[in-house]
Structure 1
Amino acid sequence: METSHQLPIQKEPEATLSVDPKKFILWLFIVSIVMLFASQTSAYLVRRAEGNWLEFEMPAIFSYSTIVLVVSSLSMQWAYYSAKKDNFTNLKIAISITFVLGLAFLWMQFDGWREMVNMKVYFVGNPSGSFLYVFTGLHAFHLISGLLVLAVAFVSAFRLKIHAKNLRRIEICSTYWHFLDILWVYLFFFLLTFN
C-alpha cells in the first residue's frame, strides 16, 4: 500500500519593517521640538495681537549668526559625504569646522543678548523682548545638545569608527544638526516678519 506523504508548505516569512531605535528616538525628539516651537510661535502671535507690544530692531549679530549656522550645515553635509567615501581626512576637517561654527553661533547668540540689554530690551518687561529671549534661549539649549551629539561623532571620527559601513552616528548627527539649522532659520525669519 502506497501512502502519499505531503510535505507541509512553508511560507516565506514576511519582511518586517525595522527602524533603527536610535534614529526613531531622534525623530520623536525632533517632533517634540517642532511641537514646542509651534506652540511658542502661536502664543507669540496671539500675545502680539493683544497690543502693548514693544517694537525694536533685532540685533544685526543674529543675521550674522544665521549665516554661520547655514555654513555649518554645509560643513556637516561635507562630513557626511566624506564618511560615505571613507575620506577620513576630510571627515575630520569637516566635523571640526562644524563644531567650531556651532560654538561661534552660540557666542554670537550671547552677544546678541548683550546688544538687546544695551537697547533696553529685557527678559522681564514687555512680552516682545521676553519672547525673543525665550526663542533664542530654547534654540541655544537645543544647539548645546546638538554640540554634544556632534562631539560624540567628532570623537568617533577621530577613532575611525565612522566609515562607509558604519554611518549611523554621522547620520544621526547630520539629521539633528540640519534640523537645528532649519529651526533657527525659521525662527529668525519669523521674528523678522512679526517683530
Structure 2
Amino acid sequence: MTSDFKIIEEPKKTLSMHPQKFALWLFMITVVMVFAALTSAYIVRQAEGNWLVFELPQTFWYSTALIAVSSITMHWAYLAAKKDNLDMVKVAIIITTILGLLFTAAQYHGWKVLAEEGYHFVGNNVSVSFLIVLVGLHVVHLVSGMIVLLVSLVSTFKYKVHSKNLNRLQMCMTYWHFLGGLWIYLFIFLLLNHN
C-alpha cells in the first residue's frame, strides 16, 4: 500500500499595517529625527560658550499640564469609541481640542513673556532663538494635530467612527500622544539644559 504524502507549507504570515498608519509612523520618525537634530545642535552650541542663561516662563509648566491632560481625554475618546458611545467620543474630542488650543495659547504667552523681558528671536543670543524654534516647531505640529482632531470629530458626527471602524481615531490618538510625549521631552530637555 503506497500513499503519496505531500508536505505543504503554509505561507508565512506577513506583518501588515494599514498604509495610512504606516505613513503616520514614518512621519513621526521624521519628526523625532528633526527634534533630535535640533536638541543635539542646542547642546553643541551651548558647549561653545556665549550662552545666555534665562528662566523658562512659568507658563510652560501650565502648558505641560494641559498637554498631559489632553492626552488623557484623547484616550478617553478612543475607549468610548470602542464601546460605541459616540456622544462621549464627541465630548472627549472637543475637550481635547480645547485643551490643545489652551496649550497653544500658553505657549504664545510664554513667548510674549520672553519678549517683554527683552529676549527676542534675533539679537540677544542664540539660546533664545533655539528655544523659540523648538517651541514654535512643536506648536506647528500641534496645530496639525488639532486639524486631525477636527477631522476625527467630523467623522464621529457622520457616524464613521465606531467600534468596527477605529483606524482614523487610533491614528489621531497615536499622533496626539506622540505630540504630548514630544512636548514633555522638550520641556524636560529645556529644564535640564537652559543654563
TM-score, normalization by structure 2 = 0.93
For residues 76-91 of structure 1, the aligned pairs below 5 Å read: 76-91=74-89
1:51-70 equivalences under 5 Å are 51-70=49-68
> Deviation of residue 9 (structure 1)?
7.1
Secondary structure at the residue paired with 1:155? helix
**d(CA) in 2 for partners of 1:9, 1:192:** 63
1:38 equivalent in structure 2: 36
Residues 158-194 of structure 1, C-alpha deviations (whole Å, 9 max, x = no match):
1111111000001000000000000000101110111
Q: Which residue, out of 109, 112, 116, partners 2:110?
A: 112
Larger radius of gyration: 1
Which ranges in structure 1 are unaligned for 5 or more consecutive residues? none
**Aligned CA-pair RMSD:** 1.6
What is the rounded CA distance, in whole Å, between the counterparts of 2:131 and 2:7 in structure 1? 66
Residue 33 (structure 1) shift: 0.5
Q: In structure 2, what is the equivalent of residue 138 of structure 1? A: 137
2:66 counterpart letter in structure 1: V
Q: Which residue does 1:174 correspond to in 2?
A: 173
Shift of 1:18: 1.6
Question: Could you tell me how far 1:157 is from its partner in structure 2?
Answer: 1.2
Question: Any idea what the Cα deviations from partners look like across 1:131-172, whole Å, max 9, x if unmatched?
Answer: 000000100010011111111111111111111100000100
The size of the alignment, in residue pairs, is 192
Paired residue for 1:101, among 99, 102, 107?
99
TM norm structure 1: 0.93
Structure 1 residues 73-121: Cα deviation after superposition (integer angstroms, max 9, x where no partner): 0000000100011111111110110011111111111111110100111
Aligned to 2:186: 187
Gaps of 5+ in 2: none
